[in-house]
Amino acid sequence: MSNSKENKKVSWGTIISTSCVAFGIHVGGGFATGNQTVNFFVKYGWVAVLMPVVAMVILNLVFHNGLINAQLNSVSNYREWSDAVFYPLNKLFSNIYEVCYIIILTLAISASIAGAASLLQTYGLPYGIGVVFTGLLFFLLTIFGKELLSKASTFMTVCIVISMLCIVYFGLTDVKADFGTMVNTANAPLGLGPAIWAMLQYAGYQAYTVATISPYASVLQSKDNVKKMTIINFIINTSILGLSALMLLAWMPHLKGETLPILFIATNTGHPWLRYLYSVVLFMAFVSTGIGCIFGFVARFENKIFTNLGITVRRAIMSLISMMVSMAVSMLGLTVIVSKGYAYMDIIGIFLVILPCLTLVAYRNIKGIATVKGSGGQTAVQTAKVIVKEK
């Protein structure tokens, strides 16, 4: 990686689009439906006001440290990233991480396909056809590299943010919303300790995505740009997640037994068009998560197999393979995937991703220590003198 002044000049558009990729992966079906927000935050009472902020602080610190480490080691995919993070025990922990990562990505892609197909089914499209249509859309958006992915994610992020702000506004100003009463009466009914643990689990699950976006470290090129990216990502994610939590808390008495709480709110605010707006938001949330996760697979293997073929063809093959597996899993349905598949992955993420990124990786970043490639491509631990510098 060059250290020239020209290469360090990265536009704000590039920084923002990278933030949008990270946001797009985060704002999946669980987030957009409100189901995850209720179960990880809102059901714990008044702490729903604070815990989303803490979770996003942790997540973006992981992103910050993980991306700088990716720059130090010139990584291009999640396996190279995990090798750098877990060195010198990477032969053991990178394999463990890869298994967990593949499980997470397969489940996330499958849930996105299943969720999008279920949404299309409510508008009269058969579930199987919805799966094929969604899979084809994911395929087309992931075979042309991170440039197209960035543009698509930026467009969808803008649409999701504007639409969610609209829904939150009408949700919080509706006569059925009673935020003040809920804050005063829902005094951490399950206790503060369980609320903090649930927040850590949420962050642990989302932390896996640092490896997914690690190929963008080379695009950002410097520590300063990584810092800008994570600040923007924190603002976007915290705003939408926090406001969503506030709205859901205000509606909590009416949401008992609702598996799609935001849909319930959008349907019962007295503005019928909100339901259709929400459908667009939800579909884009499924798409943004699905294509971001598939990109993780593509980046991992595009330079490892079928190297005699063109890069677009290799990406198409990897995208198709991951798609076929995920589409097969998606036929189990969204409920089965979420309830059975996600168990324990979030807890593993706390210890496998969050703790290393906030301790060992942070220390290596401060010292400028590269563990895999470094500036000269060596494999021994070394101090990187030219790769990641402040502007």
The pLDDT assigned to 358 comes to 95
The pLDDT assigned to 252 comes to 80
The pLDDT assigned to 331 comes to 67
Answer for the pair 354, 204: CB distance below 8 angstroms, yes or no.
yes
Distances (CA, A) of 265 to 75, 176, 185, 245: 43, 9, 21, 13
Give CA–CA dist 255/247, Å, rounded. 11
Which residues lie below 8 Å from residue 147, measured CB to CB, with a gap of 6+? none
Residue 27 CA, distance from chain mean position: 6
- Which stretches of the chain are assigned E, i.e. beta strand? 369-370, 382-383
- Burial letters for 255-292: b for 16+ Cβ neighbours within 10 Å, e otherwise? beebebbbbbbbeebeeeebeebbbebbbbbbbbbbbb
Burial degree of 192 (CB within 10 A; 0-12, 13-18, 19+) = middle
Burial degree of 351 (CB within 10 A; 0-12, 13-18, 19+) = exposed
CA triplet 131, 97, 204: central angle to 5 degrees? 75
Answer for the pair 42, 182: CB distance below 8 angstroms, yes or no.
no
| pLDDT tens, residue by residue, 176-213 | 766 666 655 555 666 788 889 989 999 998 898 888 88
The pLDDT assigned to 53 comes to 94
Domain ranges of the chain: 23-383
| pLDDT tens, residue by residue, 9-61 | 788 888 888 888 888 778 776 677 787 888 888 888 888 778 999 999 999 99
Q: Which stretches of the chain score pLDDT less than 70?
A: 1-8, 29-30, 144-146, 177-190, 259, 302-307, 327, 329-343, 372-391
Superfamily classification of domain 23-383:
Hydantoin permease (1.10.4160.10)
The pLDDT assigned to 335 comes to 56
CA triplet 231, 13, 202: central angle to 5 degrees? 35
| pLDDT tens, residue by residue, 143-167 | 766 677 777 778 888 888 888 888 8
Q: Is the peptide bond before 88 cis (omega within 30 degrees of 0)?
A: yes
271 three-class SS: coil
